[in-house]
Amino acid sequence: MTISTRRSVSLFLPALVLLCMAQIATAQPAPPAASTPSASSGGPDESSNLSVVEWLKRMHGAARSHAYVGTFVVTVAAGNLSSARIWHACEGDLQIERVDVLSGPPRTTFRRNEQVLTFLPDQRVIKSEKRENSELFPNLLGVPDSAIADFYTVKVVGKGRVAGFDTDVIQLMPRDQLRFGYRVWTEKRTGLLTKLQTVDSDGKVVEQSAFSELQLDAPVKVQALSQMMGSTAGYRMEKSQVERTTAQAEGWALKNPVPGFKPMSCNRRAIAGSERTLQWTFSDGLATVSLFLEPFDAKRDAQEGTMALGATYTLTRRIADPAGDWWLTAVGEVPARTLEAFAQNLTRQPTR
C-alpha cells in the first residue's frame, strides 16, 4: 500500500473508522470484554417491536435532530485506543459538526453538510474537500432502506447505561459471513447511538466505540461552529481535486456483485500531486468498502497481503492487465473474506 493511498484511505473512511485509524495511541488497559446488558424489566416496551430498518431510522433521525457534545473513545482488540471530542448542531436541513482528535498530532475536522475542512495546526494547512455520502456521526449512509433487512436481523438484548444515560441495547446479526454483527446502545428517549461494539462470527468484540461523556441537547449553535470553521487566517488551503466518474467509464466492473453491497460513488482523486487514484465505494447500509485503484509501480507497490486494525481490514493486490498492471487497495469495516470477494470479482473491461 503506497504512502499516497494510505493518506487517501485515512481521509475517506467513515466517521467511526476515522476515529480509530487517526493516530492510534497505545492504551494502558485492555479493551473491555463484551458487555452483558441487564435483562429488560417491567412491561412490554414499544421499541422491542421495531424492525432493523426502523431501529436504524431512529438512530439516523436522532443524530440529525439533536445538538450534542461528547468525548468518543474507540478501542480495538489489540489494546489500541483513540479518542475524539465531538460537537454537533443542526438547524433544519443544515448539519454541522466539529471533531477534535485527542490522540497523536492535533487535527480538527469540520463538516457542514457536504463541505469538509480538516485543520492541521502543526503544518498550518487546511485540507478542503466535498464528500457525497453522509459521513456525519453515526456512520449511516442516508436513510436506511428495506434491503438492509435482507442481510441483518435485529434482536432486543435489554437495557443499559452509557455516559450516565439510560439506553436500549440491540444486536444486529448478519445473515451471512460477509459482514460483521453489531451490538448497539441507543439513548432511550432520543435513539442517539451512544455505544457500538463490532462483533465477529465467533462472537468476539473486535472493536468498541462509545461516549465516555455526553451532553445531549447541549447549547451548541450552528452559528458558533460555522464561525470556527471559517477561522482560516494563517493557514494554507489545499483543495482536494475530485472528479466524479463511473467504474464503466474507467474500465472497471465486478463479474459478480458482492451480496448486499451497492455502489455508492466513483471518483478520481489527485493524491499528493501524483497520478489520479480511482476510488469506488460500496455499502450495504451499515458497512462500507472502498476500492482504490492506481497504476502499478514495482518500486512502490511491492507486497500483497491483508492487514487488520480493529474492525477495519485492508487488502492489497496486483491486478494484471495487458495494457499495464494495476494496484488495488481495498479497505472496509468487513471481514477479510468480503474484501477477497471484491478482489476476485474485479475485472478490467474495454472503455468506450
pLDDT, residue 198, reads 96
Find the domain containing 248 and state its range.
Answer: 240-348
Beta strands at 68-76 and 25-26: parallel, antiparallel or unpaired: unpaired
Number of neighbours of residue 330 by Cβ within 10 angstroms:
26
The answer on 160 and 23 residing in a single domain is yes
The answer on 223 and 176 residing in a single domain is yes
The answer on 248 and 210 residing in a single domain is no
The answer on 188 and 163 residing in a single domain is yes
The answer on 191 and 222 residing in a single domain is yes
Last residue of a domain, one of 229, 253, 272: 229
Total domain count, the chain: 2
The answer on 245 and 194 residing in a single domain is no
Residue 151 counted as domain residue? yes
Cell of residue 102, nine digits: 485527542
- CA–CA dist 127, 103 (Å, integer): 19
- CA–CA dist 48, 239 (Å, integer): 46
The strand pairing partners of 167, in sequence order, are 160, 187
Q: Closest Cα to residue 220, out of 64, 68, 95, 62?
A: 68
pLDDT, residue 276, reads 77
Q: How confident is the model at residue 269 (pLDDT cuts 50, 70, 90)?
A: confident
Residue 235 counted as domain residue? no
Q: Quick: pLDDT tens for 212-244.
A: 999 999 999 999 999 999 999 999 999 987 889
pTM of the model: 0.82
Mean pLDDT estimate for the chain: 83
The answer on 297 and 204 residing in a single domain is no
Q: Which helix (H) or strand (E) holds 171?
A: strand 165-174
- CA–CA dist 331, 230 (Å, integer): 32
